[in-house]
């Protein structure tokens, strides 16, 4: 019984191969495979994407997986790459800094003049500027000279 089933399977396989050869199906499959390999995602596709981490935070000899940052569907902003673990570490460091901060009250307000004696422009509640405007984040663009493209956004 088993031998008969094997023989039938071999016959069917040969018959299907002959049909493929007659109709050229194997050529179509091969051409699709070649096309997929040609369109493979590569580093040239990443050129110009922004990474929302400081370049120094990446360790050499270590692989870091970056994913697209979440954003609204209708947002027209450019795509940004982030690493979730690095974001968690940054959030943890920020919370530790906030716990260490002391009261920022300065009765004499010496900070209202710069080193040349000119008055500095200051917002009304300057200690809340970071919460209102958002924290400054270091970023860089892939594929460009990092000295030029590094910026605080």
User: Which string of b and e fits 69-83 if b means at least 16 CB within 10 Å?
Assistant: eeeeeeeeeeebbbb
pLDDT of residue 7: 92
Q: What is the mean pLDDT of residues 32-39?
A: 80
* CA proximity to 81, closest of 71, 92, 94: 71
How many beta carbons lie within 10 A of that of residue 55, not counting itself?
13
pLDDT of residue 127: 66
Cβ atoms 110, 117 nearer than 8 A = no
CA angle 100, 102, 104 (to 5 degrees): 140
Sheet containing 50-51, strands listed edge to edge, beginning at the edge strand earlier in sequence? 67-68, 80-82, 50-51, 138-141, 151-152
pLDDT of residue 22: 74
pLDDT of 148 strictly over 50: no
pLDDT of residue 92: 93
* CA proximity to 51, closest of 87, 12, 89, 100: 87
pLDDT of residue 5: 92
- The pLDDT tens digits for 100-114 are 876 666 655 556 667
152 or 142: which leads in pLDDT: 142
148 or 23: which leads in pLDDT: 23
Instruction: Give the dihedral sign, CA 113/116/118/122.
Output: negative
Question: How is residue 71 written in tokens?
Answer: 């954003």
Cβ atoms 140, 51 nearer than 8 A = yes
Q: What is the mean pLDDT of residues 26-52?
A: 79
């Amino acid at each position: 019984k088993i031998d008969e089933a094997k023989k039938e399977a071999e016959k069917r396989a040969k018959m299907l191969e002959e049909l493929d050869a007659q109709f050229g199906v194997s050529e179509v499959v091969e051409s699709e495979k070649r096309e997929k390999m040609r369109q493979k995602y590569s580093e040239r596709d990443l050129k110009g994407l922004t990474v929302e981490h400081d370049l120094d935070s990446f360790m050499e000899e270590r692989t870091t997986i970056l994913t697209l940052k979440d954003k609204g569907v209708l947002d027209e902003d450019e795509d940004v790459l982030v690493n979730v673990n690095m974001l968690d570490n940054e959030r943890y460091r920020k919370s530790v800094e906030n716990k260490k901060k002391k009261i920022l009250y300065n009765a004499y307000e010496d900070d209202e003049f710069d080193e040349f004696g000119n008055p500095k422009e200051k917002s009304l509640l300057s200690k809340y500027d970071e919460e209102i405007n958002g924290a400054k984040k270091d970023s860089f663009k892939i594929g460009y000279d990092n000295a030029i493209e590094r910026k605080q956004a």
